[in-house]
Amino acid sequence: MTFSKRSIAGALLTALVLTGQGCGGPSAAEVAATKPVTLTVWRVFDTANTMRDIMDAYTKVHTNVSFKYVQLRPEEYRDELLRAFAEGKGPDIFSVHNDGMGEFKSLMAPLPATLKIPYTTVTGSVKKEKVTVIREDPTITPREVRRDFLDVVAGDVVLPFQATQNAPTEEKVYGLPLFVDTMALYVNRDLLNAAGIAEPPVTWDEFQAAVMKLTKVGPNNEIIQSGAALGTGANVERAFDILSVLMMQNGTQMTDSRGNPTFGSYETPAHTNPGQDAVRFYTDFANPTKEVYGWNAQQPNSFDAFVAGKTAFFFGYAYHLPRIRARAPKMNVEVSPMPQIKDSRAVNMANYWIETVSKASKNQNFAWDFVQFAASAEQVPSYLKAAARPTARRALIQSQVNDEDLAVFVGQLLTAKDWYRGADAATAEAAFEKLIDDVLAGMDVEDAIKSAQNRVIQTL
């Protein structure tokens, strides 16, 4: 059972049964059910094969629907998407990263309360007869999103909506995810073995101790072997995410109730700024005066260093695992949960894409119906298996907890968070990179973090 395929008794608000018998031609429902509809879908990373089973299942129910699936490279996706919409050639369905909802909201059609979709069924046991109906089914509500999906999802996809300038603000669903990934710690087991470290670190205290045992520095502070690819900005993949999760684990209030950034000015009742402490902790790994020093701006990209065996620890997502195996097939690699602060509540970092519908689409009903169909608990498992992704749905977590490759990432889903709600994620990430660089260059942490906060405010 899917959102839009609920039982007629419970979910069918309106059914116009129009068989066309006794009429001079086909009924309106028959015309709607046979009119060809092509849904253009734009996505990143995943090939069409990952969605093949879902698309085939949908076209079996709606034989008039076909798909044009376009996979774009991540580095070109944003510009191509904006160009296509500007030229009136945008897709019906497109993916938006969880930090990009603010930027692309104006291009999205919010999910309506109901969808009118034609269906054709065969009735009769002796005399078979096709009956075509237009069903008006209720769609998933914001309350159901909060109930059925991970906590982090509702904050990203349930957004305020005003029909007109003077209309009251209400909540609308602007998209649905097929998966949610979480950041974890990749470990080069051979390097840990050589250093006499039996188990990957669980806490940040243990992580620091392990880094000090693993790092090898020459007489001129040259790094011979890095304990962890951590501490700088430009050459650490997803440095924004790592620093963000450190801040959140340390109790930093990243934004206020209105979404305004507060990570640089937030103070605890004890008048301390946990965000500043997180920045110091992070940058210490690239500070040659600190015991945990083991990385600097002259090192290669953190992923490249890890697959080359030059660093023992790398922070990444589930999508990094096949890339690591492809680049370093003989590496004794282990995936370990994200380290946490000892005796504190776990906080993990979410990273995922959301499927949404263009407000310029001429097929919004079918497009939204397909998004709901694809994200349903019945259909999405085929995608999760094909794409090797962790689920976004609470009910499917148990089905993945024993997956050897995904178990760690899945185990962190219920504590996954994110925080950015502005309209320019790239500028926000650049602000964090500059924050790191400024501190490493000697700027006072308080001044640097407030400067970064002001830059992020400009993206709202």
Residues 453, 107, 174, 99: is their CA dihedral positive or negative? negative
pLDDT of residue 294: 97
Instruction: Please indicate, yes or no, whether residues 326 and 208 belong to a single structural domain of this protein.
Output: yes
Instruction: Please indicate, yes or no, whether residues 345 and 289 belong to a single structural domain of this protein.
Output: yes
- Residue 124 domain-assigned (yes or no): no
Instruction: Please indicate, yes or no, whether residues 302 and 186 belong to a single structural domain of this protein.
Output: yes
pLDDT digits (tens, 9 = 90+) for 29-42: 677 767 999 999 99
Count of structural domains, the chain: 2
Higher pLDDT pick, 18 / 350: 350
- Residue 403 domain-assigned (yes or no): no
Please name the residues in contact with 253: beta carbons below 8 A apart, sequence gap of 6 or more.
262, 263, 266
- Residue 442 domain-assigned (yes or no): yes
Instruction: Please indicate, yes or no, whether residues 255 and 328 belong to a single structural domain of this protein.
Output: yes
- Residue 60 domain-assigned (yes or no): yes
Instruction: Please indicate, yes or no, whether residues 385 and 370 belong to a single structural domain of this protein.
Output: yes
Q: What is the CATH number of the domain that holds 383?
A: 3.40.190.10
CA-wise closest residue to 218 among 228, 209, 226:
226
Instruction: Please indicate, yes or no, whether residues 239 and 326 belong to a single structural domain of this protein.
Output: yes
pLDDT of residue 9: 38
DSSP code of residue 59: H
- Residue 375 domain-assigned (yes or no): yes
The answer on pLDDT for 295 being more than 90 is yes
Look at residue 243 and give its three-state secondary structure.
helix
CA distance 222 to 206: 24
Question: Contact 143/319 with Cβ under 8 angstroms?
Answer: no
The answer on pLDDT for 341 being more than 90 is yes
Provide the pLDDT confidence category of residue 109 given band limits of 50, 70 and 90. very high
- Residue 154 domain-assigned (yes or no): yes
pLDDT of residue 156: 97
Instruction: Please indicate, yes or no, whether residues 49 and 191 belong to a single structural domain of this protein.
Output: no
Say if residue 293 is exposed, middle or buried (CB neighbours under 10 Å; 0-12, 13-18, 19+). Answer: buried
Instruction: Please indicate, yes or no, whether residues 186 and 330 belong to a single structural domain of this protein.
Output: yes
pLDDT of residue 36: 94
| Segments forming the whole domain that contains residue 173 | 36-110+141-180+352-398
Retrieve residue 131's tokens.
């009956």
Instruction: Please indicate, yes or no, whether residues 347 and 358 belong to a single structural domain of this protein.
Output: no
- Residue 89 CB-half CA count within 13 A: 4
Element (H, E) at 95: strand 93-97
Instruction: Please indicate, yes or no, whether residues 44 and 76 belong to a single structural domain of this protein.
Output: yes
Instruction: Please indicate, yes or no, whether residues 331 and 190 belong to a single structural domain of this protein.
Output: yes
The answer on pLDDT for 12 being more than 50 is no
The answer on pLDDT for 14 being more than 50 is no
pLDDT digits (tens, 9 = 90+) for 204-237: 999 999 999 999 999 888 999 999 999 999 999 9
Relative to beta strand 181-182, strand 14-17 is: unpaired
Instruction: Please indicate, yes or no, whether residues 273 and 298 belong to a single structural domain of this protein.
Output: yes
Render 269-334 in DSSP notation, one character per residue.
TTS--HHHHHHHHHHHTT-TTSTT----TTS--HHHHHHTTSEEEEEE-TTHHHHHHHH-TT--EE
Edge-to-edge strand ranges of the sheet holding 353-357: 65-72, 37-44, 93-97, 353-357, 176-177
- Residue 80 domain-assigned (yes or no): yes
- Residue 31 domain-assigned (yes or no): no
